[in-house]
Amino acid sequence: MVAKVISGPEVAEEIRKELRVKIAQLKERGVTPGLAVVLVGEDPASKQYVRNKERACEDLGLYSRTVLLPWDAPEEEVLKAVDTLNADPAIHGFLVQLPLPNHIDENKVIMRIDPAKDADGFHPINVGRMLIGDPLFLPATPHGIQEMLVRSGNDPEGKHVVVVGRSNIVGKPVAAILMQKKKGANATVTVCHSRTRDLASLVRQGDIVVAAIGSPQFITADMIKPGAVVVDVGTNRVDDPTAKRGYRWVGDVDFEAVKEKASAITPVPGGVGPMTIVMLMKNTVIAACRAAGIDHCPPA
């Protein structure tokens, strides 16, 4: 069996089309959804993510703002930037790009974000609301994974989903979303991590496997049940002297071998990454709809 490759850009474009309709309705009412990003320091990967977010905003006609603070900015200054965005009516959603430098308490910063503007969905109120099935926003990457599965005809309902990774950003929330008693969810979920015993035998039970480990090509073909659907979240930069830049991006899944065994698979790049950005745009549009008191907001 050769797997169908689920294209992140294609699914993302479908969602962008839906968002354009909502954005036009908002603009008719004089509202331009606004997204801000607080970036502390000059980390090249973070800068690239922020640039991608700015481009995505531009493409959809959203207002975007980047608040750039130096790497050694005191915690108080970061909190002040958060307070300013909380109070700014032109900004409907914003996020603080992680990771933050060690002298800044990440939790303290996240706690300071107004939950109604928390475009990343990382505030404890939003995490709790996600868990009880009444979300204001869903976190972008896990929500993007759910959309990719459903829109590619791989509804998780009734399936055994094995998630490898238990981070607050990907593993835990994707498990929480897919186990909800809801359309596009209703899965039976197993979550594995670095202390899991006999990981391979658990992964082999997965009808759907979500790999969010951060370890290049960790999931090999022998760990995959024939016909399983594989979602690769991993984004690992590996040296490659044959590549123009001297490196390339690979996922957590051995794509070439696994695609011979799975029924569907997401590639890296071109898989989950583009979904993360479009889901962030969606959260911004949802926030703008709510702020404008518009009925029929896209559901979170």
Q: Specify the DSSP element, H or E, that contains 222.
A: none
Provide the minimum distance between the beta carbon of 161 and ligand NDP in the complex, in angstroms, as a whole number.
16
Q: From start to end of 150-288, where are the E strands?
A: 160-164, 188-192, 208-211, 229-232, 236-239, 247-250, 264-265
Give the Å distances, CA to CA, from 284 to 42, 95, 133, 137: 25, 10, 20, 9
- String of contacts with ligand NDP for each residue 151-190, x by CB under 6 A: -------------xxxx-xxx-------------------
Residue among 121, 139, 142, 234 that touches ligand NDP (CB under 6 A): 234
List of residues 6+ apart from 210 with CB closer than 8 A: 145, 161, 162, 163, 164, 165, 171, 174, 231, 233
**Distance in angstroms (rounded) separating the CA atoms of residues 58 and 17:** 14
82-101 binders of ligand NDP (CB under 6 A): none
Backbone phi, psi, residue 47, to 5°: -60, -40
**Active-site residue (options: 97, 225, 252, 282):** 97
- 69's CB contacts (< 8 A; 6+ apart) are 38, 39, 40, 41, 77, 78, 81
Kindly report the number of other CB atoms within 10 A of residue 202's CB atom: 18
What is the rounded CA–CA span in Å between residue 167 and residue 154?
Answer: 24
x-marked contacts with ligand NDP along 22-61 as a string, rule CB under 6 A: ----------------------------------------
221 binds ligand NDP (CB under 6 A): no
> Which lies closer to ligand NDP via its Cβ, residue 34 or residue 273?
273
**Complex with ligand NDP: residue 73 or 233, whichever CB lies closer:** 233
Q: x-or-dash pattern for ligand NDP, window 97-136, by CB under 6 A? A: ----------------------------------------
Q: Among 68, 199, 257, 292, which residue sits at the site for ligand NDP (rule: CB under 6 A)? A: 199
Which CB atom, from 26 or from 283, has the smaller least distance to ligand NDP? Answer: 283
Distance CA(127)–CA(113), nearest Å, equals 13
Whole-angstrom Cα distance, residue 118 to residue 98? 14
Position among 97, 141, 146, 152 found at the interface with ligand NDP (CB under 6 A):
141
Site string for ligand NDP, 239-278 (x = CB under 6 A): ---------------------------------xx--x--
Confirm whether 97 is a catalytic residue: yes
Tokens for 289, please give them.
Answer: 């709809």
**Would you call 53 a catalytic residue per the annotation?**
yes
Q: How far is the CB of 33 from ligand NDP (least distance, A)?
A: 21
In the complex, the smallest distance separating the C-beta of residue 268 from ligand NDP, rounded to whole angstroms, is: 8
Compute the Cα dihedral for 127, 131, 136, 137 and give only its sign. positive
How far apart are the C-alpha atoms of 148 and 62, rounded to whole Å? 23
Task: For the CB of residue 273, give the shortest distance to ligand NDP in the complex, in Å.
Answer: 4
Three-state secondary-structure class, residue 218: coil
**Catalytic residue (one of 118, 120, 232, 252):** 120
Is 120 tagged catalytic? Answer: yes
Instruction: Kindly list the catalytic residues.
Output: 53, 97, 120
Question: What residues make contact with ligand NDP under the rule CB under 6 A?
Answer: 141, 164-167, 169-171, 192-196, 199, 212-215, 233-236, 272-273, 276
